[in-house]
Amino acid sequence: MKHLILSIALFLYSSSFSIEAYSQGAGGDFYLINEDNSIIVEFEITCVSIPFEGLNNQLNGFAQYNRVGVQQNGSSGRIFESNTVTNYNGILRYKFEGGYHINFLGFLATADLQPPVNGKALPLGKFKITVKVQGTDEKYSLYFNNLDSKYGTGNWQGENIYGADWYVKLRADLPAYNRLAIHYAHGGQYVYDTVSSADTLANGEPSKEFKVWEILYDRDEPWEKNFYARTIPFPVKDSIINPSNGDTQYEYILGTTVTLDTIFPNLGANDKYGYNTIPTTDYYFNPVIDATERGNHTFTPGVISSVHWAYDRIFACKIIATTGDTLIISNDKHFWVNGTNTVHLGAIRGDTLIFETGSHLILNDDASLRAMKGGTIIDKGATKDFSSGSFVTVMANSKLIVDGLNVTYPANARIEIEANGYLILKDNSTLIFDGEGAHLEIHPDANLILGENSKIEFRNGAYLDADGITFSGDSGAIWGGLVFHNAGGQTQIKNCTFNDAKISIDIKNTTGCYADLEKRITGNTFNQPSIGSHSIRAENVFKLLLQGNTFNIAANKTGVEILNRINAGNSQEDGGN
């Protein structure tokens, strides 16, 4: 078994694509092979997750020269052997269309530390592999996943190595449309499974995913998910996002648990920590923040967001936290979803960070997530944990998009929409602030776009601070309004305009302790549509300041209704009138 390095061998008709990558122990080789000499096969491999460099070599006395045992993001790698250094590029997307050799055809030598052939290597990640028989509709697809931070470790769980040689073979002895087989060699070669053409879903995605921990150890989860974002831009170098042709990889799932805890500078040819950091103006040495804060701020590529003239596409980066993925922003660290503040295809655009349902965002003490220069954050219902002093900020020309039935921000969460920033609620979406200290702060001249039946709720001590904002349905859509259920006493709404709401402000307290907390609603204009019922409805409220408000109410609609069923200071519901 060899150290995880990359070599590629693709042959005319009988094609073999061999990949290896460096590892602390020996993670094994990876092969794409056509065993049928009568056909030409096209192979494509794409890293769909954020790439990680892999464990550096610790055998044969090399550990003293290398960074060992830490999985950090990066599309390139660097291996030190005494006084020599080898640099390599990770394969993020590679396509071979049969019928010719490629330039880096070669075989890997078996020395303990052999440099990768032609500077190529396979990172740790989740990969989509497609195999197509040329001139036919016979096609296969699958996922291969080695995102375990222990993968490649020597002397692991009673085995000499946590790794294997992997083979994706188009077999000559199996029938067409059912002849792709997955083999692995680990103390002998075994057939693990076959893939048929029918295993590709209608949307073109594979239905089968092959996970190294599941195959080798029969585990549902990886042994470990300790991956770190320690170079910028994140997740990959800006040059990868916008190459000179249209065949690029700019969308990545998080794929695992990733921690943003520090940033290493690029110190040159002999640096073993920060060589994936780009030392340009907007990333490290002259960032948009105070230079004394270097090392505390992570940026997406942002500046490369542009339109490629030949493809009419925007090469901005997209990061997607899928179900089971976790993003951790450590104490006093800050993650910026970056952009350009320039107009492309009629709008200011930038990178996008998406949190799918089932993903997890953790902000530790005084940590932040920020959208700037056209960057966008989309929340579809992730679980979120906010520690003291942590916050999300949406700056000018940037967006926070809420797209889910119950998108919740818990205790301590602070969401700030600055002037000319955007808070957008999709149709039928509900944005919820739930818990003491959770609050939404909307600055004057911020933009709210509220979809059909959308609403914003504040519960159990959460509160709203809004000044000079227009709350309107998107293109006249009727939205649900603001709901305050046992909300906090810091709530103030001033100089705002309300349009298109069923009930613009709906306040309900179920205990006297919340009923005694003051709400201040001053200097606002309420334009109540005929389809709505109230401008302001309040139940069990004993401290409510209504001052200088204007009500433009449709016929037979209610401007303000206050109904108290509990006594002031009574902690019990329905305590009286």
d(CA 317, CA 235): 9
Q: Which residue in this structure is represented by tokens 């409510």?
A: 544
Among 50-59, 94-103, 288-297, 502-511, where is mean pLDDT lowest? 94-103
Asked whether residue 162 carries a pLDDT value surpassing 60, the answer given is yes
* pLDDT for residue 4 is more than 70: no
Residue written as tokens 């959460």?
462
Q: What is the mean pLDDT of residues 4-12?
A: 29
Look at 102 and 148; give whichever has higher pLDDT.
Answer: 148
Q: State the residue for tokens 């209704």.
A: 561
139 exposure class (CB count in 10 Å sphere: 0-12, 13-18, 19+): middle
Cα separation, 299 vs 232, in Å, equals 6
What is the pLDDT, as a whole number, of residue 237? 78
Of the listed ranges 143-157, 512-526, 545-559, the one predicted with least confidence? 143-157
Once rounded to an integer, what is the mean pLDDT over residues 338-354?
A: 79
At residue 116, the pLDDT reads: 53
pLDDT digits (tens, 9 = 90+) for 34-69: 888 889 899 888 889 999 886 555 555 666 777 777
159-161 vs 154-156, strand pairing mode: antiparallel
pLDDT bin (cut points 50, 70, 90) of residue 529 is: confident
In the predicted model, is pLDDT for residue 243 greater than 90? no
Selection from 124, 45, 121 nearest residue 78 by Cα: 121
For the chain, the residue count is 577
Q: What is the DSSP letter of 213?
A: H
380 has pLDDT over 70: yes
Give which of 451, 409, 417 is closest to 433, Cα–Cα.
409
- pLDDT of 326 over the 90 cut: yes
| Rounded average pLDDT over 162-185 | 91
The ranges assigned to domains in the chain are: 16-217
Per the model's pLDDT, the better-predicted residue between 286 and 176 turns out to be 176
Region 284-303 average pLDDT: 76
Q: Does 493 score more than 60 pLDDT? A: yes
162-191: average pLDDT: 89
Q: Is the pLDDT of residue 108 over 50?
A: no
**121: nearest Cα among 5, 27, 26:** 5
Q: What average pLDDT score do residues 133-139 get?
A: 95
CA-nearest of 289, 353, 295 to 327 is: 353
- Kindly indicate the confidence band of residue 227, based on its pLDDT and cuts at 50, 70 and 90: very high
User: DSSP character for 120?
Assistant: E
Q: What are phi and psi of 513, to 5 degrees?
A: -65, -35
Q: What is the 3-state secondary structure (H, E, C) of 424-461?
A: EECCCCEEEEECCCCEEEECCCCEEEECCCCEEEEECC
Is residue 25 over pLDDT 50?
no
